[in-house]
Structure 1
Amino acid sequence: MSTDEHVLEVTDLEITYGRSAEPTVKGISFVLAPGEKMAIVGGSGSGKSTTIAALLGLLPGEGRITGGSIRYRGQELVGATAAEWRQLRGRRIALVPQDPMSNLNPTMRVGDHIADALRAYGQTDKQSIHDDVIRLMTESGIPEAERRARQYPHEFSGGMRQRILIAIALAGDPDIVIADEPTSALDVTVQKQILDHLERLVEQRGMSLLFVTHDLGVAADRTDGIAVMHEGELVERGLPGEVLRHPEHPYTRELVDASPVLTNLSSTPPVAESEYVLEVKDLTKVFRMRGSARGEVRAVDGISFRARRGVTTAIIGESGSGKSTLASIVLGLETSTSGDVLLDGRSVTDASRREMKQLRRFTQPVFQDPYSSLNPMWTVEQIIREPLDVFGIGDRGERRERVRTLLEQVALPAHLAHAHPSQLSGGQRQRVAIARALSSSPQLLVCDEAVSALDVLVQDQILTLIGGLTRELGISCLFITHDLAVVSELAEDVVVMRSGSVVETGPVRDVITNPQHDYTRGLIESVPGREFMSV
């Protein structure tokens, strides 16, 4: 293929920040043909986001291109003026960013976001802008676009907000769409819907797609080729099947090995009736909705199940299935409308304040986002020590020693005891959250989407850590997730929830290999990369 046939050509790209002599990104070269779908994959810090920022002329702060070339249809973009970038960005090269809530103004109606983009691209006629807003929303898969254009971002689900970002990206009728982790925070079924729709749009419009992700399964399913980045370099490129089945670079092999797949299914023998650490009996939670025509929402609707002592029980389902509400009730952070939760045979529903304090020591949480769940003003030692202080466990010296032991257990160096959360990586922060949860010696860990915000390598490390600690310490775990592949890696039992109800329960092996409910089958079929990555 000649250079003239490339819609994008990157040659020996080098990017440097500040006065550093060492480039952050170095020697990146690839081409993108019209209509081609290419994935850039790699863990956090591999240089993916820096590379796409350069392709959009949006390098932050002191970031600058110090070598190489970026050509769009033969036009050199390195050194382009601000006016030239305004003509290209959005019109020719558009971005679908990762997090809709941080990219949408909560005080603006969603239709106004798209209208702003259309005005930025030169449209002035009010009726024409309105018509195009409705067309783009409809094209992006949003039903009742006329009505929903007047709503605000908080009135949309995560998947629908992502569709708004797609509509904004399409407003300039671009040649290239760069999708930066557009589905990493979404449930597997919603992820499939968004990616199906984006794929159809790319094909219908004849656009090229540059898909940035840490999920090899998604990359394999959705693109024509994969480029693997590591420490600022492109270390491997090829067809999805070749790269995933026969990786040549050690880092690519590491990514493949770390990616959860629907294999490695474990099983445990039945237990006696007295060996259930958690029993949920006909549990219901109704939320009253102020100003809503619906009046109420049944977040949890009469569910019952039991979790075996000493094993990991996964709760899986989409957003809105009731998983997190269930976790809040088990942790005593939310009260049920009816039904009961028994921890070690003791009722959470009828517990006195003193009994509730004991039950909270029995059960400790690990939340999804460690940065928001850890006090940014405290040191790591203060964070881990807090449960010991609250429950009055040990004297000052014993607590300090306990913190040192916990840091060792979660594989963190002792000197980090004096660090603050902002000084840690995402994986390190989650290790601190796990150490804090373990400090009071609980019998049940409740992990609510504890790895969904992490890239595949860090996710694998945290899953290995949780699995090893629960076995070593004999702790039970209630692991809440939307990722069935993660369930197959970690859990022995699974409870499948949908719209507040339990639709299926059983050993993970049985549920995955012989699902009884259509919804469970849909979850399994939505797991990305099954053709390339399952055994």
Structure 2
Amino acid sequence: MGSLVEVSNLTVVAGDATLVDALSFSIRPGEVLALIGESGSGKTTTALALMGYARHGCRIAAGQVRIDDIDVLKLGASQLRSLRGRKVAYIAQSAAASFNPSRTILDQVVEPATMHGTLSRPAAELKAIALFRELALPDPEGIGARYPHQVSGGQLQRLMAAMALITDPDVVILDEPTTALDVTTQIEVLRAFKRVVRERQVTAVYVSHDLAVVAQMADHILVLRGGCMQELASTDRVLAQPAHEYTRELLAAARPAARDSGHVSGSTQALLEISGVSAGYGARDAQGRPQVCILQDIGLRLERGQAVGVIGESGSGKTTLARAVAGLLAPSAGTIRFDGQALSPTLAQRSKDELRRIQIVFQSADTALNPSQTIESILARPLQFYRGLKGAALQRRIAELLDLVKLPANLAGRLPAGLSGGQKQRVNLARALAAEPELLLCDEVTSALDTVVGAAVLDLIAELRRELGLSILFISHDLHTVRAVCDEIVVMRHGCKLAQVARADYDRGPHHPYYEQLARAVPELRRGWLEELDLPRPVLVA
């Protein structure tokens, strides 16, 4: 059974900055409370404080956190170690970064139970297998023998849930557990999480920026902004009658609207032409075919000033296509032409101007930005390399780029670790724009962003297209987002192009069954959608 959680006047600071400001709330046993807000609102900071933990450079300055009769903030180090993973368990956003790649999955899942002494190793293994089955994982008896890289992202996220639940905790914190997953995988994970939370009657805290997901999971919603509570009410009340203007902004941002790019269709001027492209990884055979083939005979055309979306679930080949266009992966067959000229297959063979004209914005800003360089240094490098800027002109352009992506100029001196996830992604975008490209390859650029920041980035992309005539290849697993941004949509699965749909036909069918499946898998902003959803079995590649 779950525990009663009571938080009173919780205050968390970092130097002179207040991250969480005198926050008070309670969660009844067996209930799910969602913490909602944009990046930097204090969601994760609040959730971690429930375990008596503050991240490096932060400290819990005041307040009280009680779990049943335990005063968490008065516990010593050894008592906190006993609490964490036993009484309170944490499921992180990135399972891939949380597992040890050199140890088997089973070794890591049973570790909390053996460390806390709740189960013997044989009993823990039996319980782990039962949890694998409860979480609808394939091959529950055998999956534990694999290593983290041998399972999918959605499976790894559920395996992390098994690790958290093996000690039968009373409180579970789920910190953006489906943010990095494609929509069809997200459905599987949400269903598994909801079933387990309900059946075990644990008290849960669900941290998210996605109101549509929260609508399926939470009993109550606490809306945060700048570390301050804006609203706390039942999920039904927040969705139907939001009391605070900021909550209404979040709800509006959660419903993607079409962005007017000013692009006029019918142009015959192709900026990018991809013909018969195949690509993969590993050693090539005598015919030049890679050991692992990801893309198979892909063709598409992108006009100057146009945005073409590429959608598909994980493993469909979307990112591999972007990497081939960017020169990061040489195609094994086919041609890629840019502005009428054939592109060399690799970065090393391309001219400096070709490199400048095609820029890629990677999905994960955490791995794309050098952690040891300031934001100023990160933005200065492309400006110096492509434009030869220095001195006052360089500083002025850095300030303009930060303003362009809606970031304050005083962030320039910070390291990436001092920025929120949304801020880092906007730096990632600003760095690509520094080269003044003609084609921007956007690889899941809003998947890790909160709804407000994500909507702002989509608006910015539409604005750049209008003002600069920028062309976009927009990769995503979220069909609603792609429809809001793009003039045409290419549907991919298992490395093959299944269909291409023009904006005029978005609301006219019939479309390919897989396109319809992806459309239905995007969570709707209403209660009960998850229970009503009945996705068909995976369709075969046509």
In structure 2, the residue matched to 1:251 is 246
Matched residues in 2 for 1:378 and 1:176: separation?
A: 38
1:288 shift after superposition: 2.8
TM-score calculated relative to the size of structure 1: 0.87
- The corresponding residue for 1:79 is 74
CA separation of 1:278 and 1:374: change in aligned 2, threshold 3 A: same
1:373-432 per-position Cα deviation (integer Å, ceiling 9, x unaligned): 234555555544444544466787766665555445444555655655455554444344
The residue that corresponds to 1:287 in the other structure is 281
Worse-matched range after superposition: 365-374 or 299-308:
365-374
The residue that corresponds to 2:534 in the other structure is none
Letter in 2 for 1:285: A
The alpha-carbon distance between structure 1 residues 89 and 322, as it changes in their structure 2 partners (threshold 3 A), is same
Select the residue among 335, 338, 346 that pairs with 2:330.
Answer: 335
> For the residues of structure 2 that align with 1:402 and 1:81, how far apart are their CA atoms?
50
> 8 Å contact 2:40–2:420 — kept in the other structure?
no
CA distance in 1: counterparts of 2:54 and 2:407, whole angstroms: 33
> Does the 8 A contact of 1:277 with 1:309 survive in 2?
yes
Match of 1:250, as an amino acid?
A: E
1:111-510 paired onto structure 2 within 5 Å: 111-123=106-118, 125-261=120-256, 263-264=257-258, 269-272=264-267, 274-288=268-282, 296-349=291-344, 356-376=351-371, 378=373, 380=375, 382-391=377-386, 402-403=397-398, 405-412=400-407, 421-422=416-417, 424-508=419-503, 510=505
Q: Please tell me the residue identity of whatever aligns with 2:25.
A: S
Q: Residues 505 and 511 of structure 1 are in contact (CA less than 8 Å); yes or no, is this contact kept in structure 2?
A: no
In the TM superposition, residue 195 of structure 1 has moved relative to its aligned partner by 0.5
**1:343-364 C-alpha deviation (Å, 9 max, x unpaired):** 1222225799776444322211
Question: Would you say how many aligned residue pairs link Structure 1 and Structure 2?
Answer: 523
* Residue of structure 2 aligned with 1:53, choices 34, 48, 54: 48
Larger deviation, residues 469-478 vs 5-14: 5-14
When residues 31 and 423 of structure 1 are mapped into structure 2, their CA distance, relative to the original with a 3 A threshold, is closer
Distance 2:426 2:408 in 1: 11
The match for 2:62 is 66
- In structure 2, what residue type is equivalent to 1:280? I
Tell me, which stretches of 5 or more residues in structure 2 are unaligned?
530-542
Q: How far apart in 1 are the matches of 2:407 and 2:6?
A: 39
Whether the aligned pair in 2 keeps the contact of 1:245 and 1:533 (CA below 8 Å) is: no
- Once residues 502 and 424 of structure 2 are traced to their aligned partners in structure 1, the CA distance between those partners, rounded to angstroms, is 31
- Partner amino acid, structure 1, of 2:321: L
SS at match of 2:142: helix
State the distance in 1 between where 2:395 and 2:24 align.
Answer: 47
Between the aligned partners of 2:189 and 2:428, the Cα distance in structure 1 is 32
Aligned to 2:440, what secondary structure does the other structure show?
strand
Matches within 5 A, 1:93-104: 93-104=88-99
Q: CA RMSD in A?
A: 3.3
- When structure 1 is superposed on structure 2, of 145-154 and 111-120 the one drifting more is 145-154
Aligned equivalents of 2:75, 2:350: Cα separation in 1 = 67
1:10 to 6, 11, 14: 6
Aligned residue for 2:145, secondary structure, equals coil
Give, in angstroms, the shift of residue 173 of structure 1. 1.8
Amino acid in the other structure paired with 1:199: K
CA contact (8 A) 2:99 2:148 kept: yes
Q: Secondary structure at the match of 1:146?
A: coil
Larger mean Cα displacement after TM superposition, 120-129 or 446-455: 120-129
Alpha-carbon distance change, 100 to 175 in structure 1, aligned in 2, over 3 angstroms: same
Corresponding residue for 1:40? 35
**Residues 1:287 and 1:351: Cα distance change in structure 2 (over 3 Å):** closer
Q: Which amino acid aligns with 1:521?
A: E
Shift of 1:463: 1.9
- Conserved 8 A contact 2:328-2:346: no
Q: 2:25 aligns with which of 23, 26, 29?
A: 29
Measured in 1, the distance between the counterparts of 2:188 and 2:21 equals 33
State the one-letter code of the partner of 2:24. Answer: I
125-134 or 189-198, which deviates more = 125-134
In structure 1, C-alpha distance between the alignment counterparts of 2:413 and 2:207, rounded to whole Å: 35
Taking the aligned partners of 2:374 and 2:59, their CA distance within structure 1 comes to 31
Percent identical residues: 36
Deviation of the 1:234 alpha carbon: 2.6
SS at match of 1:174: coil
Within 2, Cα distance between the matches of 1:54 and 1:410?
A: 31
Shift of 1:215: 0.9
Matched AA of 1:323: K
* 423-432 vs 276-285, which moves further: 423-432
What is the CA–CA distance in structure 2 between the aligned matches of 1:220 and 1:132, rounded to whole Å?
31
Partner SS state of residue 7, structure 1: coil
Q: Which moved more, 1:464-473 or 1:50-59?
A: 50-59
Structure 1 residue runs of 5 or longer lacking an equivalent are none
- Between 1:371-380 and 1:148-157, the stretch displaced more is 371-380
Closer/same/farther in 2, CA of residues 147 and 7 from structure 1, 3 Å limit? closer
**Partners in 2 of 1:142 and 1:348 — Cα distance?**
43
Higher mean C-alpha displacement, 241-250 vs 428-437: 428-437
Cα shift at 1:270:
3.4
Shift of 1:219: 0.3
Displacement of 1:134 in angstroms is 2.1
Distance 1:377 1:79, change over 3 A: closer
SS at match of 1:320: coil
Cα separation, 2, equivalents of 1:429 and 1:90: 30
Distance 1:112 1:259, change over 3 A: same
**In the alignment, is the contact (CA less than 8 A) between 1:487 and 1:508 conserved in 2?**
no
SS in 2 for 1:202: helix
Q: Which moved more, 1:447-456 or 1:333-342?
A: 447-456
CA pair 351-133 structure 1, distance change in 2 beyond 3 A: closer
Mean CA deviation greater in 379-388 or 48-57: 379-388
1:113-144, CA deviations, whole angstroms, 9 ceiling, x for partnerless residues?
12212212425644323322322222222222
Separation of aligned partners in 2, 1:175 and 1:379: 41
Deviation at 1:207, TM superposition (A): 2.8
Q: Is the 8 A contact 1:348 1:356 kept in 2?
A: no
How far is 1:370 from its partner?
3.1
Q: Does the CA contact (< 8 Å) of 1:271 and 1:308 recur in 2?
A: no
